[in-house]
Amino acid sequence: MSDARHLRQGENILRHIRFDAPDSCLILACAKGAPLSVLYWGAALPLSVDVAALECLSVRQGMHGVADVSLPLSLAMEPGLGHPMFHGFAAHREGKDWGSLFEVGKVVPRDQGAKIICRDERTRLGLEYDIDFDVSSGVLRIRSTLTNYGPTPLDVNDMMTACLPVPERMTDIIGFTGRWTQEFTQERVKRGAGSYLRENRSGRTSHFSYPGMLLATAHTNESAGEAYGFHQAFSGNHRIRVDSLTDGRVLTSMGALLLPGEMRLAPGEFYASPEIVAAYSGAGLSAISRKFHDHVRTKLLRPEMRAKPRPVHYNTWEAVYFDHDVAKLKELATRAADIGVERFVLDDGWFGGRRNDQVGLGDWTVSRDVYPDGLGPLVEHVTGLGMEFGLWFEPEMVNPDSDLCRAHPDWVLGLEGVEQIPFRSQLALDISRPEVADYLFNAIDAILRDHDTSYIKWDMNRDLSHPGGTSGTPRAFAQVQALYDLLDRVRSAHPNVEIEICSSGGARADMGVLAHSDRVWTSDSNDALDRQVIQRGASFFLPPEVLGCHVGPAKCHVTGRRLSMDMRAATALMGHMGLELNLLTERAADLDVLKYAIYLHKKHRALLHNGDQYRLDTAPQLLASGVVARDKFEAIYSVAYVASDARVLPGRFKFDGLDPERQYRLQLIWPTNRQAIKGPSAIETLNLTGEGAVFNGAALMHNGLQLPNAFPETCLLFYVAAI
């Protein structure tokens, strides 16, 4: 609930605004004429707690060597506050009006949030905060909008969406980094004095600097301890900071990273910053993720698409690359349908002169060289087999060797006099130009209208290294807005078409783009061992059903590693399952295993795609997680043995998230042909591969099951059902 008890009717004096969720509470100090700040954000407080008491408890003193008074914090951390270490806001008019100091002018409480309007009369700027607090989950969302009320243009160099304090006991920062095929790599570091800073200038969400982080105590793990989670819902350049001030306070901040001259506001114009999504948990890191998953599911994804089971995919990329041949593709489709695939996605190579990655990007008409009769016969073959048809596009890009680039060389982003950096032999179009967006919309629209297509894989495969527009000013921020607009335009013209977002694998997998699309491609690595880590990292922010998880070939094309079908299939089965291997060359026995995995995925899909995910703490030789139905009637747990173990047996496995009072039947549902190593383990003794055994939820959760010894690179799946 939001509490406006301090609002004195008619006087518009609201000193505090308080939001309560079952497990967390946020109190903002918003007295008129003072800076807007966070008074309290953390564990739930009884309603009887007096806000004035919190203020008293928080009184700070001045000190020798620093200001004589304790300086206030604000959500903007603007220069007028006079802080010596960190500012979250930098703007000026020709070198003047740079020292803004915002004061709360008006507070408009809403059902689950508030609009708080701040102003600085000296620099003639308005700063409006839109704050939403979901009272059931405790998910906090903040957007800020800066308006230039002055008579001359304002240059915005830097503006964090919001700067949010966290308690000093949050000593650990968990960030996510990586590269192509190694996305979502967790990095837990100790907070030191000064700044932790991640900057992304790639023009897309990025592999290297994921726009999300958590702050936690030294003891916080997946299932216990305090943590704060943050995500910037934006698919472009960003800056993420944690500042440990010399006065002891700790501030986290996130915002778009603006390039020089990128954000010049004419009189009356405004800049709307990208949204921060944040949450507090007193019950470990996994609980933060469940809040984020709930947010993605209920606020971002389209209800009609959520209601539809997500079809199992077959994607052609690793089977054929650019070697498209209609007869072979039809044969692949037939095989795919045979083993239970429900959607066939034709990847790169179907259009223009695109016979390799050097040529044809931008020419979005069906290639007559490889499809002499158009795509129709393949689409009809696929739909005739009862599958949906999907198609790959990379709308924002051109190869210089394309008809489009030859016709419109000026549509390309760049800097005059500066050679573009080569990057997969392609250049980025300035899609913020209406004529470019129109061309792309019309091209995509024509293909979708002419073919029975229900899916687009929307790719983007280069950094925006020099994102200058025609006038020479940077267009990186505008490019992101233009992307969202183009996605929405395609969506509203084709509401039944789902859109997958891809960017050299998982370089555009954020909550900003998910408000305009339906799933993301998690990584170009289909190596199941790497995927265990990548999918786990992604799960900090995104629920399993939006993560494309494909079974790759026996020998991974990216790592050269060979993994069993058992391991590959179990790993893909836990997300949005798909296949990306040559079904014409895989071993028949492996295809049987795969067919059964697809059957199992479909059988448990409703649970996997709607349940609550629990990442579990285990020894490093294992990676484990579970998905528990919201009513706690059933659950699936995955235990991957990722490395050899110095111990004879791994530890006991605790089935987190169950109802301690209920009785559950425990079964091992994967792999189907498990052989005990040496003597019988609990799996055999309890007949878990057969009828299973019944246990009390508390026993499964707190005592746990002694895991068997198993070969590295294997994965066990347990199914638990209430009886």
Question: Quick one: 147 or 526, whose CB is closer to ligand GLA?
Answer: 526
Q: How far is the CB of 546 from ligand GLA (least distance, A)?
A: 16
Q: Which stretch binds ligand GLA (CB under 6 A): 26-34, 158-166, 242-250, 497-505?
A: 497-505
Give the position of tokens 């490093």. Answer: 620
- Candidates 174, 502, 635, 715; binder of ligand GLA (CB under 6 A) is 502
Work out whether 459 is an interface residue with ligand GLA (CB under 6 A). Answer: yes
Whether residue 671 is preceded by a cis peptide bond, meaning omega within 30 degrees of 0, is: yes
Work out whether 504 is an interface residue with ligand GLA (CB under 6 A). Answer: yes
Pairing relation of β-strands 622-628 and 612-616?
antiparallel
Which residues, including other chains, have CB under 8 Å from residue 695's CB and lie 6 or more apart?
Answer: 663, 664, 666
Q: How far is the CB of 358 from ligand GLA (least distance, A)?
A: 12
Q: How far is the CB of 571 from ligand GLA (least distance, A)?
A: 17
Question: Quick one: 286 or 503, whose CB is closer to ligand GLA?
Answer: 503
How many helical (H) and strand (E) elements, i.e. helices and strands, does the chain have? 15, 39
Work out whether 347 is an interface residue with ligand GLA (CB under 6 A). Answer: yes
Q: How far is the CB of 696 from ligand GLA (least distance, A)?
A: 45
Q: How far is the CB of 506 from ligand GLA (least distance, A)?
A: 8
Long-range contacts of 49-57 (CB under 8 A, 24+ apart): 51/6, 51/15, 51/16, 51/18, 51/27, 54/27, 55/29
Please list the alpha-helical segments (H only) found in 214-340: 285-295, 303-307, 317-320, 326-338
Q: How far is the CB of 428 from ligand GLA (least distance, A)?
A: 15
Question: Quick one: 3 or 401, whose CB is closer to ligand GLA?
Answer: 401
Q: How far is the CB of 493 from ligand GLA (least distance, A)?
A: 23
* Interaction pattern, residues 390-429, with ligand GLA; x per rule: CB under 6 A: --x-------------------------------------
Q: Which stretch binds ligand GLA (CB under 6 A): 150-158, 229-237, 498-506, 582-590?
A: 498-506
Q: Which stretch binds ligand GLA (CB under 6 A): 171-179, 188-196, 502-510, 660-668?
A: 502-510
Cα gap 491→155, rounded to integer Å: 34
Question: Quick one: 204 or 249, whose CB is closer to ligand GLA?
Answer: 204
Which residues, including other chains, have CB under 8 Å from residue 164's CB and lie 6 or more apart?
Answer: 38, 41, 75, 142, 230, 251, 252, 253, 276, 278
- Candidates 35, 467, 505, 552; binder of ligand GLA (CB under 6 A) is 505
Residue type, 460: M
Q: Are 706 and 644 in contact (CB under 8 A)?
A: no
The total of other beta-carbon atoms located within 10 Å of residue 619's CB is: 13
Q: Which stretch binds ligand GLA (CB under 6 A): 301-309, 499-507, 509-517, 666-674?
A: 499-507
Q: Are 91 and 146 in contact (CB under 8 A)?
A: yes
Question: Quick one: 502 or 707, whose CB is closer to ligand GLA?
Answer: 502
Q: How far is the CB of 203 from ligand GLA (least distance, A)?
A: 16
Pairing relation of β-strands 89-92 and 154-159?
antiparallel
Distance of CA 333 to the CA centre of its chain: 31
* Interaction pattern, residues 352-391, with ligand GLA; x per rule: CB under 6 A: ----------------------------------------
Is position 631 annotated as part of the catalytic site?
Answer: no
Which residues, including other chains, have CB under 8 Å from residue 558's CB and lie 6 or more apart?
Answer: 181, 524, 525, 526, 527, 530
Q: How far is the CB of 37 from ligand GLA (least distance, A)?
A: 43
In the bound state, the residue with its beta carbon closest to ligand GLA is 348
Two tokens at 201? 């200038």
| Ramachandran region, residue 603 (left: φ > 0; alpha: ψ -120 to 50; beta: rest) | alpha
Question: Quick one: 504 or 618, whose CB is closer to ligand GLA?
Answer: 504
Question: Quick one: 524 or 586, whose CB is closer to ligand GLA?
Answer: 524
- Candidates 128, 155, 396, 524; binder of ligand GLA (CB under 6 A) is 524
Residue type, 718: F
Count of residues near ligand GLA by CB under 6 A: 11
Question: Quick one: 6 or 557, whose CB is closer to ligand GLA?
Answer: 557
Of 347, 524, 566, 612, the catalytic one is 524
Of 155, 363, 459, 527, the catalytic one is 459
Residue among 264, 255, 214 at smallest CA distance from 237: 255
Question: Quick one: 505 or 537, whose CB is closer to ligand GLA?
Answer: 505
H-helix or E-strand spanning residue 434: helix 434-450
Cα gap 180→506, rounded to integer Å: 8
Q: How far is the CB of 354 from ligand GLA (least distance, A)?
A: 9
Q: Are 301 and 518 in contact (CB under 8 A)?
A: yes
Cα gap 97→668, rounded to integer Å: 67
Residue among 533, 515, 547 at smallest CA distance from 178: 533
Q: Which stretch binds ligand GLA (CB under 6 A): 294-302, 414-422, 501-509, 619-627?
A: 501-509
Is position 488 annotated as part of the catalytic site?
Answer: no
Distances from the Cα of 668 to the Cα of 300, 358, 628, 687, 720, angstroms = 34, 48, 16, 9, 9
Question: Quick one: 382 or 636, whose CB is closer to ligand GLA?
Answer: 382
Q: Which of the residues 657 through 686 are near ligand GLA (CB under 6 A)? A: none
Q: Are 506 and 521 in contact (CB under 8 A)?
A: yes
Q: Which stretch binds ligand GLA (CB under 6 A): 259-267, 297-305, 440-448, 500-508?
A: 500-508
Q: Which of the residues 281 through 340 are near ligand GLA (CB under 6 A)? A: 317
Q: Which residues bind ligand GLA (CB under 6 A)?
A: 317, 347-348, 392, 459, 461, 502, 504-505, 521, 524
**Which residue numbers are catalytic?**
459, 524
